[in-house]
Amino acid sequence: MTTDISVLRDVEVRLRDGLRTKAEVWLPSEGEPHPAILVRTPYLKECAAPTATVDARQATSRGYAVVLQDVRGCGGSEGTFYPFATEEADGFDSVGWVADQPWCNGDVVMAGSSYVGATQWLAAASAPPSLRAIAPTLSSDDYGEGWSYRAGVPELGFLTTWSVAGLVPEKDRMLDDPTRSWDDVGSAQAVAPWLHDWLANGPGSPYWRERSVAHRRHEIKLPVLVVAGWYDVFLAASLRSFARSMNRSDRLIVGPWAHTETLSHLVGVGNVGIAGLGDGVFGWILDFYDAVLAGRDPGSSRVRAYLLGARRWVDLECWPPAGGGQLEVAIDPGSFAVRPATPVPALGGRALLVQVPGWGYGIADQRPLVGRDDVHRAATIAVGQDTIFAGPVTADLVTSAEGVDGSSAYWVATLCLEQPGGALHNIAEGVVRTVLGAERAQVDLGDVFLEAPAGSTLVLFVAGSSFPRWPKPVSELRQCVMAGSKLKMRTP
């Protein structure tokens, strides 16, 4: 194995408009050209590795060069940063530059998580001739639905804190108190002008189609390894990006992780098992690259998923698993208040609050919701035998609501598994917005992969808000869940 490496600092990468970006290049000691891993980041190239999904030392020991590049307007690179806007063209130019270097053999792959995954999707959409594969982690090919929005509802807490604490120039960041960004959106927009555009343009709009890849997914024929997390804010979008697979070599890994660079097995207040620690994921990514560059099928099953509760990995040929059945459970009728001044607090989940204590994600005890008059305990389900739930979870609600004419209503559903000590650990959650007079609301809680032991209990809550993850309701309401409502879950 290679032990000696060389590192080139602040290497200049010119883009087609003459703008100069800066990169850090890690090279194996051998003199012959190598395949290269390109990582394009807005978060400073010097901090881009090591992470669980990018490790320059491990990559060089496997014979890869590694290029860590500051995207336009970030770190040492010239220009103005506006998220997503120039990553397609800039990605094409950057891949071409890497492929033309004397230390590269002409083969380029890409890696990285979150926005760094977005730079991969957007580069792939431009079809650079030398790009052979990508491995977007905790990311998505759509930056409207599944990234900035959930069922058309803005991911308010994420968008505001990410903007003011992670994306704007360091001198403008609200690091003393990022939480004021969701209460004072105007101040956040003043330092992050894109935030106005994000909140003014719903998913599927021309704005998001111009910046997303999902509607052009059929044009991306190169192999893709999608790495997702059961508690990641982008989980649903990651799964959809894999479902749009166009290559027999595409693969999916879904671990127990929240939106963290470490891919930790400690997810919020829960320990999901040391087998779920993602310290081996970059090795899996390198194995994927090796196979693609050698012109062979990656060989592993198409899907590798971590089974929560059982604390083990399962190899599958598709997601959700083929076959199986569907469990339908009646949801108890009930009503609850909705008060904009005191919304129901968002407690963990598939969420993200940047630079906020606890980061807003993961497993969190939902018992503080019990007994509130603005939360309805909608179902209590006794599990009679060890049962695996695998696939989408949906709450089909028969609804009514009373309030101000012209108002809309949020319907938030949270599914929990009761722990031996009584804690209610969240498994999945979802939201949908309806007009006030709507008689039905279908809440998509996303996908789960869970083994619930015999004797355990599942609990479903329904409420009219979950703040600051999603916006506060605009008026006081009385919302009702009516008879005929059902919770639907898949069993393999």
Helix axis angle for 115-125 and 87-99, nearest 10°, is 80
Confirm whether 206 is domain-assigned.
no
Q: Is residue 238 part of a domain?
A: yes
Whether residue 207 is contained in a domain is answered as: no
Are 264 and 125 contained in the same domain?
yes
Within 344-485, strands assigned E span 375-382, 387-402, 408-418, 424-435, 440-452, 457-463, 477-481
Q: Are residue 162 and residue 147 in the same domain, yes or no? A: no
Q: Flag whether 269 is in a domain.
A: yes
How many domains would you assign to the chain?
3
- Host domain of residue 118: 5-152+212-316
**Is residue 416 over pLDDT 70?**
yes
Domain co-membership, 22 together with 141: yes
If pLDDT is split at 50, 70 and 90, which confidence band does 406 have?
Answer: confident
Here the CATH number for the domain that contains residue 25 is 3.40.50.1820
How high is the mean pLDDT of the chain?
A: 96
70: confidence class by pLDDT, cuts 50, 70, 90: very high
Q: Please report where in the chains the tokens 């003459």 appear, as a residue.
A: 18
Q: What is the CATH number of the domain that holds 355?
A: 2.60.120.260
Of all residues in the chain, the percent with pLDDT exceeding 70 is 99
pLDDT value for 1? 47
For residue 12, is it within any domain? yes
Q: Is residue 363 part of a domain?
A: yes
The answer on 297 and 176 residing in a single domain is no
Residue 214's pLDDT is 97
User: Do 256 and 108 lie in a common domain?
Assistant: yes
Average pLDDT over residues 362-379: 98
> How buried is 408 (Cβ within 10 angstroms: 0-12 exposed, 13-18 middle, 19+ buried)?
middle
pLDDT at 437 (0 to 100) = 87
Element at 490 (helix H, strand E): strand 486-491
- For residue 129, pLDDT over 50 is answered with yes
Same-domain status, 312 and 361: no
Q: Same domain, yes or no, for 272 and 403?
A: no
Overall average pLDDT of the 63-73 stretch:
98
- Give the lowest-confidence range in 27-31, 188-192, 282-286: 27-31
Interior angle at CA 485, CA 481 and CA 491, nearest 5: 135
Judge if 36 and 176 occupy the same domain: no
Average pLDDT over residues 412-439: 96
> Residue 480 above 80 pLDDT?
yes
Same domain, yes or no: 299 and 312: yes
Provide the pLDDT confidence category of residue 30 given band limits of 50, 70 and 90.
confident
Res. 312 pLDDT band, cuts 50 70 90: very high
Residue 4 is predicted with a pLDDT of 84
The domain boundary residue, chosen from 267, 293, 316: 316
Residues 225 and 335 grouped into a single domain: no
Q: How confident is the model at residue 3 (pLDDT cuts 50, 70, 90)?
A: low
CA distance 155 to 171: 25
Distance (Å, whole) CA 257 – CA 267 = 6
Query: Across residues 395-403, what is the average pLDDT?
Result: 96
pLDDT band at 2 (very low <50, low <70, confident <90, very high): very low
Segment 437-443 shows an average pLDDT of 95
The pLDDT value given to residue 110:
98
Q: Does 143 fall in a domain?
A: yes
Q: Is residue 295 domain-shared with residue 340, that is, in the same domain?
A: no
Is 216 part of any domain? Answer: yes
Dihedral sign (CA 56, 130, 281, 49)? positive
Domain boundary among 265, 284, 316: 316
Q: Are 140 and 263 in a shared domain?
A: yes
Could you tell me the pTM of the whole model? 0.96
Average the pLDDT over each of 247-261, 396-410, 416-430, 445-459 and give the range with the smallest value: 396-410
For residue 305, what are the CA distances in angstroms to 146, 308, 430, 446?
20, 9, 21, 15
Q: Judge whether residue 405 has pLDDT over 90.
A: no
Q: What mean pLDDT do residues 294-315 have?
A: 95
**Final residue of a domain: which of 297, 316, 335?**
316
Condensed to tens digits (0 to 9), the pLDDT of residues 326-370 reads 999 999 999 999 999 999 999 999 999 999 999 999 999 999 999
